[in-house]
Amino acid sequence: MKIIKRNGAEATFDIEKIVLAITKANLACEEKVRMTPLQIQRIAQSVSISCEEMGRSPSVEEIQDLVEKAIMAHGAFEVAKQYITYRYTRSLLRQSNTTDGRILSLIECNNEEVKQENANKNPTVNAVQRDYMAGEVSKDITARILLPQEIVAAHEAGIIHFHDSDYYAQHMHNCDLVNLEDMLQNGTVISGTLIEKPHSFSTACNIATQIIAQVASNQYGGQSISLTHLAPFVQISRERIRKTVEKELAIYGVAPDEQSITKVVEQRLRDEVARGVQTIQYQVVTLMTTNGQAPFITVFMYLNEARNEQEKKDLAMIIEETLRQRYEGVKNEKGVWITPAFPKLIYVLEEDNIREGTPYWYLTRLAAQVTAKRMVPDYISEKKMLELKVDRNGQGHCYTCMGCRSFLTPYVDENGKPKYYGRFNQGVVTINLVDVALSSGRDAVKFWEIFDQRLELCHQALMCRHNRLKGTLSDAAPILWQYGALARLKKGEPIDKLLYGGYSTISLGYAGLYECVKYMTGHSHTDPDAKPFALQVMQHMNDACKSWKAQHNIDFSLYGTPLESTTYKFAKCLQNRFGMVPGITDKSYITNSYHVHVSEQIDAFTKLAFESEFQQLSPGGAISYVEVPNMQQNIDAVLEVMQFIYDNIMYAELNTKSDYCQECGFDGEIEIREDDGKLIWVCPQCGNTDQSKMNVARRTCGYIGTQYWNQGRTQEIKDRVLHL
């Protein structure tokens, strides 16, 4: 069995250290109140058993908590007092150098918690270490100076989660919907260099990747761009290529018919589109931003966003090439084609592509093939989105999320026109619904009282995020605030006007609805008797957001938190506060947002239909998924699920597996097995357990991860059942 030390490093569990610590406390007491060596041994053994029952690696603090409780359970209160005093004294000594210890362990690559914090960051790389080092300093300053201690205490106890505190010291925000159209059509500035409107599709793609990298380095969340903003440059390249072809023909005195000229032009144009798409694909995968990872970028593919029929056809050409290249994948260091994590792709299902016989059905079928092989694209239903995203003019709109799931609220500018590109999210604070339920002890009155107290705590924390951005000058991130990605403010101008009136959003996240409902009602929220309570909880959070919006003129919005690493943190905190509650806290993870529990037996269509009601109540962002086996030989079934998504739910995805073992060439599902109390990844063909010699891609919580996960998330992945 392994333990996690205070600096995040992993070590082997040693029962003798527990015996030694209790013995020291015992000897500090008067002889008449001391325990016997046998009692000490029994306490140590009971602590060992409790640690094993956790099913994960306990932290030193958790072990010491268990020791305290066990000593008191034996009635040795004087010994417990000495033990607690010793812990407190040591804690005071550590407070001055905890951050130093975590940074040093990080540099030496033995900080297990940080290693598995982000499934798309490699913690052995210098750039990632530098970002994590800065993050540790920011967390320390944030906890000691910048945040109210009530919020810090609630965050550390897992009552709420104050997201991205490693970036809070700087005046940075969460995620963006990049106005690529403005930047390409009207020019931009990158690193002090003026970038004018490009004169070809390939150049536009190259500039787009530079914009992506710059934006990623100036905020900490996801960003999205639309391929529609690249489509006008296809026509520019077509006209340029036609002139070139006509010149070449004139040189050789050849006069072919118009049809032949068009055929040559279109072939060369397709070649250029392929090169441009490849630039985006490979640049995004190989670029490393200042936070030490590839840009977290989502590429939006929406045919009805085109402004005329020719642009729509050109957009379809770009989408087709994007899908074909993603189907192929990228080569790993062994030269084998594998599934990349980014860019994340979103394909919009709409009336002219959803059924066989519609003009763009061929793209939808290709998308289904890519999904079966590479897990992307994800799917937005234009039909459902137009129903749900309605602005104050009564108009429905279809647009992309900002990264993996964070959606903007509908917005109409001062001219009465809808606006989505160029907007952003200020930040997220998540409430732990499981803790609310357990704290109430199943008392319904107490539940709602505690719920309101916790929501108010989130409100205060969210206002801290907002106020941290307030007063930020546009000079802090020129690419965002001055050169078109989000705005065109003047130098030295504060960004404050973009923080109010709905231009940007700020998100109340939530986690563990399933466990919350099960504890309070005794049933899963899929049970007809429990579902009304689940919907009531969701509505209560929406009502809170509405109240805060009226109070501050800020668009608070309810957000289904992805919980990548926080799922493990919340689970550990719940076990510390409430012990092992069967079916509630007995796993190393809690359920994402409103999702059906990963182990619950339910078919794909029932799951999507059920979750669609909860997705409507998560206007700030949410995504549903179905877990499927290898579907590459059953594309019709994939298409059936996609058509169901179109009619029933706004935003959903299909999860399959896409792994490769570099040791033996196995191309299938790498398995998760338990070894000495720890979950490890194992090749079923050769038994390889070296993570550096296998490529594993899994949907983490709305996006694909490829750098492995903490023990909580790994257990969640292991527990997933198939829905199809």
For the annotated catalytic residues, the residue numbers are 174-175, 402, 404, 406, 425, 559, 564, 702
Query: Residues 302-305: contacts with CB within 8 Å, 24+ apart?
Result: 302/226, 302/228, 302/348, 302/350, 302/380, 302/382, 302/398, 302/399, 302/400, 303/348, 303/350, 303/352, 303/353, 303/360, 303/363, 304/348, 304/350, 304/352, 304/382, 304/398, 305/226, 305/228, 305/398
> Helix H segments across 472-619?
478-481, 513-521, 531-552, 566-578, 604-616
Taken in order 179, 183, 186, 192, the sign of the CA dihedral is: positive
HSE toward the beta carbon, residue 156, CA cutoff 13 A: 13
CB contact set of 247 (below 8 Å; sequence gap of 6+)? none
Residue 608: which of 572, 571, 644 has the closest Cα? Answer: 644
Q: Are 481 and 487 in contact (CB under 8 A)?
A: yes
DSSP 652: E
Taken in order 428, 588, 98, 289, the sign of the CA dihedral is: negative
CB contact set of 230 (below 8 Å; sequence gap of 6+)? 180, 184, 201, 204, 205, 208, 276, 318
Q: Are 161 and 429 in contact (CB under 8 A)?
A: yes
CB contact set of 712 (below 8 Å; sequence gap of 6+)? 56, 565, 567, 568, 569, 571, 572, 588, 589
Write out 145-184 in H/E/C secondary structure: HHCCHHHHHHHHCCCEEECCCCCCCCCCCCEEECCHHHHH
Question: Exposed (0-12), middle (13-18) or buried (19+): which is 482, by Cβ within 10 Å?
Answer: buried
Residue 643: which of 388, 315, 384 has the closest Cα? Answer: 384
Q: Are 77 and 35 in contact (CB under 8 A)?
A: no
Q: Which residue has the tokens 């994340």?
A: 344
Distance CA(584)–CA(404), nearest Å, equals 27
Taken in order 510, 568, 562, 293, the sign of the CA dihedral is: positive
For strands 423-432 and 160-162, give the pairing: antiparallel
Residue 654: which of 324, 370, 340, 300 has the closest Cα? Answer: 370
Q: Which residue has the tokens 């009692």?
A: 39
Question: Helix or strand or coil: residue 124?
Answer: coil
Q: Are 696 and 670 in contact (CB under 8 A)?
A: yes
Distance CA(552)–CA(462), nearest Å, equals 12
Distance CA(239)–CA(243), nearest Å, equals 6
One-character DSSP codes across 178-240: --HHHHHHH-EEETTEEEPPPSSHHHHHHHHHHHHHHHHTT-SS-EEEEGGGTTHHHHHHHHH
Residue 499: which of 583, 555, 543, 455 has the closest Cα? Answer: 555
> Helix H segments across 55-118?
60-73, 77-94, 98-107, 112-115
- Which tokens sit at 598? 């990963």
For strands 505-511 and 423-432, give the pairing: parallel
